[in-house]
Every structure is written in C-alpha cells, then in structure tokens.
Amino acid sequence: MTEDIQRKLQSELNSFKNVQKELQKAIQTRQQLDGQFNENEIVKQELDILPDDGKVYKSVGPVLIKTELVEAKQNVSKRIDYITKELKRVDDLIVNLEKKQDGHREALQKLQHQFQQAQVKAALHA
C-alpha cells in the first residue's frame, strides 16, 4: 500500500518539477520579450520626433545603411505588433502552467497525507 502511494507521489513530484521548469522558461521568455518591447517602444518614440526629412540608419553587421523614415517606422511598428502578440501568447502559457502547477501541488499534498496515514496504520499493525 505505502509502496504504491510512494510511486504515485514520486510520479506526481516529477510532473510538478517538469511544470516548474516549463514555467521558469516561460517567465524568462516573458522577460526577454518585455525588454525587446521596451527597446522598440523607445525606438518608435525617437522616430516619431524626427522631422520628415530626418536621416535614419540601420545597422547591418558592421555597416550602417540609410533607411527611409517611413520604412523604419513601419518595421518598428511591425516588430511591436509581433512582440505584443508573443507577450499575449506567453502570458496565456504562464497562466496555464501556474494552474497546472497548483493542481500538481494539491495532488502532492493529498498523496503525502495518504502516505502519512498509511505509515501510521502500518506502525499500529506492526
């Protein structure tokens, strides 16, 4: 009886740890996306204050290439849209992983309680 509960407990613990790893990865991804979003917002603000005839250069490797202001603004807007969608996707993933983690935590608590009860019963019958 206690061996069966122990196996279930170990299995649940492994699942819990896997979900924790996934959650940590998702949180790191969220932080990276947040940084990229903030960088692009700053670039957008800088481009917005440039006059229409302002010069914009894009860094491509070790070279600076002149880019049209309109094209630069479009590229930054597209990047911001993409990052916003990715942030939403990762936020949803984090919420789902947190729910999974809570479910595993509850299951672990129940199994630990069952295991303790089984140990007490075994001790009383010994």
Q: What letters, b where the CB count within 10 A reaches 16 and e where it falls short, cover 4-36? A: ebeebbeebeebbeebeebbeebeebbeebeeb
Gap between the terminal Cα atoms of the chain: 14
CATH fold of 2-125: Helix Hairpins (1.10.287)
Residue 126 pLDDT > 80: no
Residue 1: which pLDDT band, with cuts at 50, 70 and 90?
low
Residue 17 pLDDT > 70: yes
pLDDT at res. 34: 98
pTM, two decimals, is 0.82
